[in-house]
Structure 1
Amino acid sequence: MVLITEEMLKQFQTMMEKIDEPLKITYQNIHQGYPAATLRRFLKARDGNVSKAHKMLTDCLNWRVQNEIDNILAKPIIPSDLYRAIRDSQLVGMSGYSKEGLPVISIGAGLTTFDKASIHYYVQSHIQMNEYRDRVILPAATKKYGRHISTCIKVFDMTGLKLSALNQIKLLTVITSIDDLNYPEKTETYFIVNAPYIFSACWKVVKPLLHERTRKKVQLLSGCGKDELLKIMDNDSLPHFCKREGSGSTKHSTGERIDNCFSLDHYFHQQLYSYVKEQANIQQSDALLKQGSFHVKFPESDDAKIAESIECTLQRLGAQNGLSNSFHNVIVDGKSS
């Protein structure tokens, strides 16, 4: 892994002092009072190349200005029934904090369907969670734990992963590209739990395509991962799908609904949704909120090769399992009757 030196940071900082005023404002929203840490993240993402890191960061700032990302936390997804449908089909939440104070972000990758709204709503929802994490959750954690906290832990539940996951690759590639280009180095570790054979097959293909820096962050845990995860977090912060073998993600909670961090009724999503509505009221006190997604320009990245490799692997697995040509075409084309 490249060593980020003080000379690199000094050179990068000098270059950033020359950016235009609109970019300086959104830059403040990114660094939240810790500009050196932000520069270090972008340098890591570009292997210590100052020029490439500067271009990456300025491209990110321009993307934020052009797409009004600074205002996205004042753009609620309405009506609430639509937002609940998005939460039921985009299984993401926050279950707590690690022992070191890092937010634990949980993702139900296996059962996420992205089938209740347009791609723009899902992208809006994803960016809102990113911005809420960076502008609210992480600053609060920094204050609580008495040290700068700028990264999180992500736990991916692969329960229910099927060949039909191919339908989601385009949207997943868009979301991954947004994160790679505009929120680099925000995840400390990626934990994979409840992984079926189909994931293992895809992982063997994808792993060599990933940057070494990313590969080192991925940990594939046995079963639900409870024993390993309890070494770095308390039971209360453990995602619900890790608390017992075979529990897995659920689109709808069982037992105590509050325990399901994917649910709109979970405290994280309740706080997030309340925050967005409050910001909307502050900024649009004299205007009625209108229904409609917040369109964001999708960035381009190098993830297409990875998506293509996953697609080929799923197609091969489908052929091995005797999928008929008609069903195979339905999956590949992303169509359903």
Structure 2
Amino acid sequence: MGIANDDAVKQFECLMEGVDESLKQTFQNMHQGYPTETLTRFLRAREWNVDKAHKMLVDALNWRVQNEIDNILTKPILPAELYRKVRESALIGLSGYSKEGMPVIAVGVGHSTYDKASVHYYVQSHIQLNEYRDRIILPMASEKYGRPISTCIKVLDMTGLKFSALNQVKLLTVITTIDDLNYPEKTDTYYIVNAPYIFSACWKVVRPLLQERTRKKIQVLQGCGKDDLLKIMDYASLPHFCKREGSGSSRHSRNGMIDNCFSVDHPFHQELYNYVKQQSNPTPPLKQGSFHVAFPEPDANDARIAKTIESEFHRLEDQKDQNGLVRSLSKQLSDLDIKIN
């Protein structure tokens, strides 16, 4: 890391010795035996400014305590049919591991609708996925590969992205803000695949607004990205939408639901759901309300990015409507000309 960075970690460690015992306890759940790596993540998120990183981590720990995040893996989403609806409308899953041992998280951005449950269920499910990743998946990977593994790779499938996605911007802003403030630097690289025109147009205006550190993490791949992704992972770990030529499909897989890592029947989701049910004490209720979590306010730059995306979607939609009107008028004039002649 370098001498300066090592000194920053040591200063950070000294500051953490003075926090309340309740925060130290939840910090253990957060770092899972790797406190130095966790402190380093928060330092990176605040450009190695120790005071800012310390405030960020203390705020995150207070958020965990106040919202009982340490217990969220004991709160199953019930009934099972509701959980199925959440999974079918918020497409995410674990497809495998990179050659370096990092979990490969697949996200079906284009086909996710987030319209089958309240926002609180989607937030609850997202945090449970984060906590299961950090408490179960990453420690298992670290043990298997014999070194600390604290980050994952995300492959984002843009297949099916439409103007209606504008309705999801606010929910996605909530989820992104929770990740930025409480789970910083957990993703090593974001790979964008199957990007349609609407994404490319938005990316041009959003990219300059991102911090350089974030921009470097995002790679937009050609087509389904198979050739590029095979350089960092085996074929078996490719998300199902990357295993075919041409545009992918987040919803369907030729090899059935077992290959589709978004499916509630996929082994990853079955293991996660069964784990949460087993952790619930003494037995899960037949029906349960959503686990409400306080939504943090996005920082000014994140709010500006969300507003920019919203404005660009509106502009593209207006442009599409105008083009459609022009085509309609042209056809009508063409039909009229034929009739006159």
SS at 1:259 equivalent: coil
Q: Is the 8 A contact 2:79 2:287 kept in 1?
A: no
Residue identity opposite 1:314 in structure 2 = F
1:188 corresponds to 2:184 = no
Q: Is the 8 A contact 1:98 1:234 kept in 2?
A: yes
1:80 corresponds to 2:80 = yes
1:335 counterpart residue number: none
In the aligned structure 1, how far is the partner of 2:267 from the partner of 2:60?
Answer: 31
Change (3 A) 1:297 1:71: same
1:294 counterpart residue number: 291
Partner deviation per Cα, 1:58-114 (whole Å, 9 max, x = no partner): 000000000000000000000110000010000000000000000000000001000
In the aligned structure 2, how far is the partner of 1:56 from the partner of 1:95?
Answer: 31
In the aligned structure 2, how far is the partner of 1:314 from the partner of 1:94?
Answer: 30
Residue identity opposite 2:298 in structure 1 = S
2:10 counterpart residue number: 10
Change (3 A) 1:261 1:18: same
In the aligned structure 1, how far is the partner of 2:83 from the partner of 2:137?
Answer: 21
**TM-score (normalizing by structure 2):** 0.91
Change (3 A) 1:253 1:245: closer
1:334 counterpart residue number: none
Q: Is the 8 A contact 1:258 1:267 kept in 2?
A: yes
Change (3 A) 1:115 1:288: closer
**TM-score (normalizing by structure 1):** 0.92
1:223 counterpart residue number: 223
Task: Report 1:42-81 matches (<5 A).
Answer: 42-81=42-81
Change (3 A) 1:43 1:4: farther
SS at 1:188 equivalent: strand
Change (3 A) 1:286 1:170: closer
Q: Is the 8 A contact 2:157 2:250 kept in 1?
A: no
- Structure 1 vs Structure 2 CA RMSD: 1.6
2:326 counterpart residue number: none
Q: Is the 8 A contact 1:194 1:222 kept in 2?
A: yes
1:203 counterpart residue number: 203
Q: Is the 8 A contact 1:103 1:152 kept in 2?
A: yes
1:251 Cα shift? 3.1
Residue identity opposite 2:231 in structure 1 = K
Task: Report 1:68-147 matches (<5 A).
Answer: 68-147=68-147
How much identity, in percent, do the aligned residues show? 70
1:316 counterpart residue number: 315
Change (3 A) 1:286 1:185: closer
Q: Is the 8 A contact 1:252 1:263 kept in 2?
A: no
Gaps of 5+ in 2: 324-341
1:301 Cα shift? 1.7
In the aligned structure 2, how far is the partner of 1:61 from the partner of 1:169?
Answer: 26
Residue identity opposite 1:81 in structure 2 = E
In the aligned structure 2, how far is the partner of 1:4 from the partner of 1:270?
Answer: 45
SS at 1:192 equivalent: strand
Q: Is the 8 A contact 1:27 1:61 kept in 2?
A: yes
Gaps of 5+ in 1: 325-337
Which one is further off, 1-10 or 143-152?
1-10
Q: Is the 8 A contact 1:93 1:269 kept in 2?
A: yes
1:327 counterpart residue number: none
1:247 Cα shift? 5.1
1:322 Cα shift? 1.2
Q: Is the 8 A contact 1:4 1:43 kept in 2?
A: no
In the aligned structure 2, how far is the partner of 1:34 from the partner of 1:247?
Answer: 40
1:257 Cα shift? 1.3
Which one is further off, 287-296 or 270-279?
287-296
Residue identity opposite 2:317 in structure 1 = G
1:34 counterpart residue number: 34
2:338 counterpart residue number: none
In the aligned structure 1, how far is the partner of 2:77 from the partner of 2:322?
Answer: 38
Bigger Rg, structure 1 or 2: 2
Q: Is the 8 A contact 2:194 2:247 kept in 1?
A: no
In the aligned structure 2, how far is the partner of 1:291 from the partner of 1:151?
Answer: 32
